[in-house]
Structure 1
Amino acid sequence: MRIAMVSVMANPLTEGTGQGAHVQQMAAALCRLGHEVTVYTRRTTPKSHDRVRTDEKFEVVQVPAGPAEPLSGDELVAHLGEFAEFLAEEWRLSSPDVVHSHHWQSGLVALISAHRVQVPVVHSHHGLGVADDEKRADAERLLARMASWTVTTCTQEIAQLMQLGVRRTQASVVPAGVDLDLFKPEGPAAARGSLRRVVTVGRLEPGSGFATVVAALSVVDDVELVIVGDKAQANPVAAQLRKLARTLGSLDRVVFAGVVPQVKMPALLRSADVVVCMPRSEPFGLAALEAMACGVPVIATAVGALTDVITHNVSGLHVPPNDARALARLLRLLLADDTKRQELGVAARDRVAARYSRERLANEAVAVYERVDPVHGNE
């Protein structure tokens, strides 16, 4: 099957977390099943190649739509027409069997372009907009009505989508997947000092929950916090976190690791006593899944995909968002109990292996594609 993925804002070549990582994982797994996958994203640097064939065999096309520089979501809207024209021309010459769009901007250009060549569109919202964002709300309602099928990465989003008009019989949950050959308990661990280690992973942006983790760390003794995400230099959120840690007297125990390549993430995760994920919303849960696959216990907020991924007190622990006191209490209990950490780590690995392998989830995605593609669905 020839599959086109549209991910306008999240480039699987450069974004190691969130949507970009999810698209990369799904495209790689689909290629391993023998499918042909092309990912379309927007060019954001002038020196980037037009087309890149990855080691995982999928192709990334970096579409010239607007200036070759990062743009905000509002700035990007003016250039979605250029993106759609590029796709329409490309697909007129050689059309895919199915299009899978990720996030609302991608969904709009996919609907426009795929309609011209009569190709079905599967759409993933990856979180819904706030009520006062009228452009996004209108787009999401349109996508709910017009997409051939809707795929979500967590069950919590299904109820919201039904309120938009998505029929439950035309929606599926296909969560994010993990490369279990790479993320596993066996293998080297990154070097560390005498302090116990807590690791948290995500983008340095409001809503990440990093401030809650820093606040909790300040009242938990003999623990260092390693923050993995974007480059911390000149990042305003990183500056705020440093100021908070300095005020709380824990700056010397906070490490900004920056961007860690995927091949080095397992070793870093294995070096952690606990991994903490404290976002206010989370459609993917990739950071938690990768830590769990490495057999590391996870404390996470009960939001989005994290409610599916973790069964409280079985494969991890849940904590309310923004509650530094509750997080500190759980960290103290867990760091003092080697047996409990081991039990949670083993159960976490079993949970991921049973439900979240890339191959299983790629097969579930293909089952959706075959439903909307009459040719391959009848083979």
Structure 2
Amino acid sequence: MRIALVSAHASPLAVSGGDAGGLNVYVARLAEQLAARGHDVTVHTRRDDPGLPDRVVLPGGVVVEHVPAGPPETLPADTLAAHTAAFGAHLARAWARARPDVVHAHFWLSGLAAQTGVRPHGTPLVQTFHTLAADPRRRADGEYTEDTEDTADPGRPERAAAERRLGRTCGRALATATDEADALVTLGVPARRVSVVPCGVDAEHFHPAADTGRTPERRQRHRLLACGPPAPGAGYDLAVRALAEVPDAELLVAGGPPAGVVPDDPEAERLTALARRAGVADRIRLLGAVAPDDMPALLRSADLVLCTALHEPFGFAPLEAMACAVPVLATDAGAHRDCVADGTTGRLVAPGDPGALADAVRALLAEERLRRQYGRNGRERVLRHHTWARVADAVERVYRLALPEPSPAAGPPASGDRPGRLEHVGAAGRDGPV
């Protein structure tokens, strides 16, 4: 197939440059795996630097096209919508010359541009939102009814309305978490057009024998590790408060700005002040950005990996820990529910409850044999369901569901397109097997 991925503000090139967020990683890994299957894959992303070439061909054959839409510079997130029409017009012209078989848009702005691009040609559009401002659980102030918060966007009404229209009119909606899929159905997207494919992890990079990287010296009997930049939605407040009830443990936070500037980071300053008030300042270390080559060893050095996000669209942190055979203690929120098998690869606890988190930490730290079993189960679950190859297989099946119906002579449509049923493609599901 000729596949076009539209990722307006998250270039796959950022992954090799070390400045990657979750969406950059998702698009990059999906693109390279689809290309490895023999598909012709082009990623369309907005030009944000005048020095970028029009096209970059990656070693695996993926083409990255830099679309001229707005000034060629990094723009604030709340200004990108103004350039969506120009982005879409460029796609329509490009696809008039070489029409893709299927278009897969990532994030709502990419979806709006892709809709403009496919409209003249009737190309099937698959939409992945990754986060939803239109999530019916959100209040007007942008917070979730279960005390979760998406800090990437304040939930503007125009975005919410656009997401509803886009979800109802795209060929298929591909969600990376069951929560997201349920929200889409609540918003009026027919369940038969919604598929769930959880995210993946590089199980060769993250593996149980990854002990060659650098790790900080252990200062306490037990080590707890949280991965991801300090941010209000990361839920690290819960981890700090829980640490006060676990006296023989240290907490390391890996992520955020470079180590040298962590002390000046506002969120790091806030967490440090909270740790002082909780009496645990001597047992928490904010490491800042950790080199990718050092992350597997850092994960392996932990007794438990804490994933405390109040809302999680990707689930990379628990998957990376599981790939390294490290047990996970995660909030029962978002993609965590699809990645972590509660009571099998780790534990899920209620978001926003530091007492429940502390109780679960103490219980697991007291059971070394159980932790080891959770770790082995986690590695097995990753290999069965969450490698990027598995993800690409499942996404490819969703693409085929989006293609025009075959003629009767070609046989029945692909399995899984059952009216009224939410489709989990290539995933274990929340309560599925390891």
Q: What TM-score, normalized by structure 2, do the two folds share? A: 0.80
Match of 2:324 in 1: 294
CA distance in 2 between counterparts of 1:151 and 1:64 reads: 27
Of 256, 261, 275, which residue of structure 1 is paired with 2:286? 256
Q: 1:226–1:53: structure 2 CA closer, same or farther, 3 Å change rule?
A: farther
1:17–1:202 CA contact under 8 A, matched in 2:
no
**SS of the residue 1:369 aligns to:** helix
For residue 352 of structure 2, give the secondary structure of its aligned residue in structure 1: coil
Counterpart of 1:4 in structure 2 is 4
Q: Which residue of 1 aligns with 2:123?
A: 119
Structure-1 residue corresponding to 2:234: 208
Report the alpha carbon displacement of residue 3 of structure 1 after superposing the two structures with TM: 1.2
Q: Secondary structure at the match of 1:60?
A: strand
Moved more, 249-258 or 209-218: 249-258
Percent identity of paired positions between Structure 1 and Structure 2: 41
Q: Following the alignment from structure 2 to structure 1, what is the Cα–Cα distance between the partners of residues 349 and 282?
A: 26
Could you say which residue in structure 2 is the equivalent of 1:161?
A: 184
**1:71–1:219: structure 2 CA closer, same or farther, 3 Å change rule?**
farther
1:1-379 to 2 correspondence within 5 Å? Answer: 1-14=1-14, 16-129=20-133, 130=138, 132=140, 133-188=156-211, 190-195=214-219, 196-231=222-257, 233=261, 234-374=264-404
Q: Which moved more, 1:195-204 or 1:75-84?
A: 195-204
CA separation in 1, counterparts of 2:13 and 2:399? Answer: 24
Deviations 1:295-334 (A, max 9, x none): 0000001111111222222111111112222222222222
The one-letter amino acid paired with 2:126 is V
CA distance 1:51–1:206, change in 2 (3 Å): farther
Q: CA deviation at 1:376?
A: 9.7
**CA displacement at 1:135 relative to structure 2:** 0.8
Judged with a 3 Å threshold, the aligned counterparts in structure 2 of structure 1 residues 316 and 370 are, in CA distance, closer, same or farther, namely same
Local SS of the residue matching 2:233: coil
Structure 1 letter corresponding to 2:215 = A
Cα deviation code 1:191-229 (max 9, x no counterpart) = 332333222122433211122222222332343322222
Amino acid at match of 2:228: G
The CA deviation at 1:106 is 0.9
| Alpha carbons of structure 1 residues 254 and 58: separation in structure 2 relative to 1, 3 Å | farther
Tell me the distance in 1 between the aligned counterparts of 2:272 and 2:51: 33
- How many residues matched? 379
Q: What letter matches 1:346 in structure 2?
A: R
- Counterparts of 1:44 and 1:257, CA distance in 2: 29
Where 1:78 maps in the other structure, the secondary structure is helix
Letter in 2 for 1:223: A
CA distance, structure 1, for counterparts of residue 62 and residue 284 of structure 2: 37
Shift in alpha-carbon separation, 1:199–1:142, aligned structure 2, 3 A: same
Equivalent residues of 1:28, 1:56 under 8 A apart: yes
CA distance in 2: counterparts of 1:46 and 1:88, whole angstroms: 22
Please state whether the residue corresponding to 2:120 is helix, strand or coil: helix
Q: What's the CA shift for 1:237?
A: 1.9
Summarize the Cα distance change of 1:275–1:376 in structure 2 as closer, same or farther, 3 Å threshold. farther
SS in 1 for 2:48: coil
Change (3 A) 1:209 1:68: farther
Q: Is the 8 A contact 2:229 2:288 kept in 1?
A: no
> Aligned equivalents of 2:36 and 2:349: distance in 1?
37
CA distance in 2, matches of 1:68, 1:173: 35
Retained in 1: the 8 A contact 2:299–2:324?
A: yes
* Contact 1:16/1:262, CA 8 A, preserved across alignment: no
1:13/1:267 CA distance change after superposition, 3 Å: farther
Distance 2:52 2:276 in 1: 39
Cα deviation 1:259-301 (Å, max 9, x = unaligned):
3344432222112211111111112211111110110000001
- Shift in CA distance, 351/367, structure 1 to aligned 2, threshold 3 Å: same
Q: Deviations over 1:3-30 (max 9, x none)?
A: 1111223333335342222222211221
Stretch of structure 1 that moved more, 54-63 or 305-314: 54-63
Report if aligned partners of 2:364, 2:371 keep a CA contact under 8 Å in 1.
yes
CA distance in 1, matches of 2:267, 2:398: 39
- The Cα offsets for residues 99-146 of structure 1, whole Å up to 9 and x where unpaired, read as 101111111001011112331110012132146421111111111221
Cα distance 1:354–1:214, how it changes in 2: closer, same or farther (>3 A)?
Answer: same
- Equivalent residues of 2:215, 2:294 under 8 A apart: no
SS at match of 1:39: strand
Consecutive unaligned residues of structure 1, counting only runs of 5 or more, are none
Paired AA for residue 162 in structure 1: V
Question: For each residue in 1:312-362, what CA deviation from the matched residue of structure 2 results, as whole angstroms up to 9, or x when unmatched?
Answer: 221111111122222222222222322121011011111121211211221
Scaled by the length of structure 1, the TM-score of the pair is 0.91
